[in-house]
């Protein structure tokens, strides 16, 4: 059986150049993308996933080349090898991930509080697929997932949920990530906008 670490090498040139220390793969799956209605939210989910050190993101729902182009343009300018794939079948992505030894972490307000489970998740050596919902979350996902994790038990947003999860997961190291082959590098400054090209 192929290991999850070789996941999708055939159709996506998978070269993990993740700006983080661990060897495990870290992907997101966003359910049910609708190109016209969800463009802004889906773009922001992918940008958060990239900036906070994930290896890539899958979207189920309608294929969307525009969304892929937007994110690939950010990769071109700001570096790294973040992968994006749209039009996936959610259950197949999850089943393949699990059958290759990876685990599924579903972010939902009904799950166990993040502070209670984060150490167990961080200490596990398995590749991780973080699932966030869209307009409708299939009921069976709650039983398929290895972890159902809440970021407070209040309803909010998939973008916020993913960002907070990744901040806990990386223990604030996202501030130190380097993105290889960047054309543009921001120079943090008190006033104005400074960058090097």
Ligand X SMILES: C[S@@+](CC[C@H](N)C(=O)[O-])C[C@H]1O[C@@H](n2cnc3c(N)ncnc32)[C@H](O)[C@@H]1O
Chain contacts with ligand X (rule: CB under 6 A):
107-109, 132-133, 136-137, 150-152, 154-158, 161
Residue 14: partners with Cβ closer than 8 Å, 6 or more residues away = 6, 7, 8, 55, 56, 83
Residue 136 Cβ, how far from ligand X at the closest point, in Å? Answer: 5
Residue (143 or 189) nearer to ligand X, CB:
143
Residue 23 Cβ, how far from ligand X at the closest point, in Å? Answer: 26
Residue 123 Cβ, how far from ligand X at the closest point, in Å? Answer: 21
- Residue whose beta carbon is closest to ligand X: 133
Residue (14 or 62) nearer to ligand X, CB:
62
* Long-range contacts of residues 72-79, Cβ cutoff 8 Å, at least 24 apart: 74/47, 74/50, 75/50, 76/183, 77/182, 77/183, 77/184, 78/179, 78/182, 78/183, 78/184, 79/179, 79/180, 79/181, 79/182, 79/183
Residue 168 Cβ, how far from ligand X at the closest point, in Å? Answer: 12
Residue (58 or 78) nearer to ligand X, CB:
58
Residue 164 Cβ, how far from ligand X at the closest point, in Å? Answer: 8
Residue (99 or 152) nearer to ligand X, CB:
152
Residue (15 or 156) nearer to ligand X, CB:
156
d(CA 39, CA 35) in angstroms, rounded, equals 5
């Amino acid at each position: 059986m192929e290991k999850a670490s070789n996941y999708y090498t055939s159709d996506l040139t998978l070269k993990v150049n993740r700006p983080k220390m661990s060897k495990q793969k870290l992907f997101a799956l966003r359910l049910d993308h609708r190109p016209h209605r969800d463009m802004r939210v889906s773009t922001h989910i992918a940008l958060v996933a990239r900036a906070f050190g994930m290896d890539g993101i899958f979207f189920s729902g309608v294929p969307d080349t525009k969304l892929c182009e937007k994110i690939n343009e950010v990769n071109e300018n700001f570096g790294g090898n973040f992968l994006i794939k749209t039009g996936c079948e959610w259950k197949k992505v999850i089943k393949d991930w699990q059958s290759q030894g990876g685990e599924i972490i579903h972010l939902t307000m009904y799950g166990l509080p993040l502070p209670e489970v984060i150490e167990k998740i961080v200490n596990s050596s398995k590749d991780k697929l973080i699932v966030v919902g869209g307009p409708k979350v299939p009921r069976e996902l709650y039983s398929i997932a290895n972890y159902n994790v809440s970021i407070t038990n209040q309803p909010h947003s998939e973008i916020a949920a993913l960002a907070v999860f990744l901040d806990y997961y990386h223990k604030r190291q996202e501030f130190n990530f380097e993105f290889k082959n960047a054309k543009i590098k921001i120079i943090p400054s008190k006033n104005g906008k400074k960058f090097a090209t």
